[in-house]
């Protein structure tokens, strides 16, 4: 029985990932922060889906921070630009996980050593 997409919402998630062979991160990165819009009937399902997708991409999720749905974020005073709205709408329509941004993390000591 297919899930009812009308019950789905889109959650903003920040996933921290560690290193794993073949992860595609820069060689000297220690991990990354990945901003995702993930569809789910609740935040727990959205987190499970995002983690599963990132694992399939050979990434190593370590921690997930949820920032709520679009409605919850707006109620907290967040401004959501039209590009983000479009990506959220796409995630909901496709019942998908959309990776919005990936920011590699670097050890500050290593950065200074390479200068």
Q: What is the pTM of this model?
A: 0.86
**9-13, 100-104, 108-112: least confidently modelled range:** 108-112
101 CB-near residues (< 8 Å, 6+ apart): 34, 35
**62-71, 88-97, 100-109: least confidently modelled range:** 100-109
pLDDT band, residue 108 (cuts 50/70/90): confident
Domain boundaries, the chain: 5-113
Residue listed under structure tokens 């109620």: 75
pLDDT at 1 over 50: no
pLDDT at 11 over 60: yes
């Amino acid at each position: 029985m297919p899930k009812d997409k009308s019950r789905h919402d889109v959650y903003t998630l920040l996933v921290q990932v560690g290193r794993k062979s073949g992860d595609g991160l820069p060689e000297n990165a220690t991990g990354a922060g990945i901003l995702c819009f993930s569809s789910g009937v609740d935040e727990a399902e959205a987190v499970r889906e995002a983690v599963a997708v990132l694992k399939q991409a050979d990434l190593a999720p370590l921690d997930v921070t949820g920032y709520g749905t679009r409605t919850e974020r707006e109620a907290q005073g967040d401004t959501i630009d039209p590009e983000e709205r479009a990506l959220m709408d796409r995630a909901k329509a496709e019942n998908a996980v959309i990776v919005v941004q990936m920011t590699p993390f670097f050890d500050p000591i290593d950065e200074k050593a390479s200068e």
